[in-house]
Amino acid sequence: MATSCYYDEMPVEAEIPIPDVVSYSKDIQPLWDQDCISCHKPTATSPDLTAANSYLALTKNNKYVIPGNAAASSLHKSLLGEGAALMPPAQKWSDSKIALVDKWINAGAPNN
Ligand code: HEC
């Protein structure tokens, strides 16, 4: 596939496809594994985003995720760096990664 890229400043993060039905285990957890669990793991920074613990850590008491309401969820604010420290701290995610997480939350944040 031919794409054109411009690397004038920081390399822009690749946009990713958004599936019709977002799977927590197949679509979301791999993002945590890739970009978050170096810091967010058991006995380290909350929330614990490792596979065995992340779903409960995010959804318990609506602490980080409010099912059906991405805009009000603190996880969404962390990914935007608006009203919370930007996550991941090093570089803001591509719009499509944030949109994927938002779509999962707005679909009711299923543990699928
Ligand atoms: C380099 C280490 C590091 C990485 C990588 C990282 N975080 Fe964090 N995260 C932190 C630290 C430290 C805090 C504590 C709060 C702060 O910095 O203000 C935190 C806090 C948070 C919080 C809680 C914010 C709050 O208001 O309570 C969330 C949610 C979060 N991170 C999500 C993520 C997600 C999702 C990723 C991956 C996309 C990620 N983090 C990647 C270090 C990291």
Q: Ligand 1 in contact with 86 (CB < 6 A)?
A: no
Render pLDDT for 34-87 as a digit per residue (tens, 0 to 9): 999 999 999 999 999 999 999 999 999 999 999 999 999 999 999 999 999 999
Protein residue closest via CA to atom 33 of ligand 1:
87
CA-nearest of 21, 28, 23, 44 to 79 is: 28
Gap between the terminal Cα atoms of the chain: 31
Protein residue closest via CA to atom 29 of ligand 1:
75
Let me know if residue 47 belongs to a domain. Answer: yes
**Could you give phi then psi for residue 70, rounded to 5 degrees?**
-60, -40
Rounded-to-integer distance, Cα 8 and Cα 6, Å? 6
Rounded-to-integer distance, Cα 15 and Cα 8, Å? 18
Query: Which residues form the domain of 71?
Result: 24-106
Tokens of 16: 């990713």
Q: What is the value of pTM for the model shown?
A: 0.91
Tokens of 8: 């004038």
Render pLDDT for 4-45 as a digit per residue (tens, 0 to 9): 555 556 666 778 899 999 999 999 999 999 999 999 999 999
Let me know if residue 64 belongs to a domain. Answer: yes
- The count of structural domains within the chain is 1
